[in-house]
Amino acid sequence: MATAATPATNMAMIKPCISSSRKVFMSSTASFSTESKEASWNRLTSSSHISSSFRSIFSAPIKFKKVVTRAMSSENENKPLPGLPVDLRGKRAFIAGVADDNGYGWAIAKSLAAAGAEIIVGTWVPALNIFESSLRRGKFDESRVLPDVQMMFPEDVKSNKRYAGSSKWTVKELVESVKQDFGSIDILVHSLANGPEVTKPLLETSRNGYLAAISASSYSFVSLLKEFVSIMNPGGASISLTYIASERIIPGYGGGMSSAKAALESDTRVLAFEAGRKHKIRVNTISAGPLRSRAAKAIGFIDMMIDYSLANAPLQKELSAEEVGNAAAFLASPLASAITGAVVYVDNGLNAMGVGVDSPVFVDLDIPKDKLELDVEIPTIFVNWTS
Catalytic residue among 238, 261, 287, 333: 261
Catalytic residue among 166, 217, 218, 309: 218
Look at residues 193, 214, 241 and name the one whose alpha carbon lies nearest to residue 344: 241
Q: Side-chain half-sphere of 362: how many Cα atoms within 13 Å? A: 11
Give CA–CA dist 356/137, Å, rounded. Answer: 43
261 a catalytic residue? yes
Look at residues 92, 104, 93, 309 and name the one whose alpha carbon lies nearest to residue 193: 104
Give CA–CA dist 329/336, Å, rounded. Answer: 10
53 and 11 Cβ atoms separated by less than 8 Å: yes
Q: Which residues are catalytic?
A: 218, 261
